Amino acid sequence: MADAPAPGEPLELRRDPNNEHDANAIAVHVPGGAQLGWVPREIAAELAPQIDAGEPWCAVVLREQRASPRDPRTGLTLLLAQDTDLHLRTAGP
């Protein structure tokens, strides 16, 4: 996951209805690129019918998961939204 996007960067959600392990599978990709992982099964079960019906969903990276700041990244925490585009902004002082 060394090339995974940083917090605040958008991701693509792609349905994978032919996935042999989960018919509701939703893959998470770098825009136009590599797959980073999967939406958790419980959430995918809720979102898959909506995505299949043409409702737009998008994702953005919220934070990296690491055992400590110097350890390699082991995962990402995402924010999913029912929209075509999602941007994070930081609040000023």
Averaged pLDDT, groups of 10, the chain, 93 residues long: 74 94 96 91 97 95 87 87 82 68
Report pLDDT for 2. 46
The Cβ of residue 41 has, within 10 Å, a number of other Cβ atoms equal to 12
30: CB partners within 8 A, 6+ apart: 3, 4, 5, 11, 12, 36
Non-local CB neighbours of 3 within 8 Å, separated by 6+ positions: 30, 34
State residue 78's pLDDT score: 92
Task: State the pLDDT at residue 1.
Answer: 46
pLDDT of the residue at 69:
84
Spell out the domain ranges in the chain. Answer: 10-81
Report the pLDDT value the prediction gives residue 47, as an integer from 0 to 100. Answer: 97
Under the phi-then-psi rule, with left for phi > 0, alpha for psi from -120 to 50, and beta for the rest, what region is 41?
alpha
**Which CATH number among 3.30.70.2330, 3.40.50.510, 3.40.50.150, 1.20.120.530 corresponds to the domain 10-81?**
3.30.70.2330
Q: What is the pLDDT of residue 72?
A: 85
**pTM listed for this prediction:** 0.83
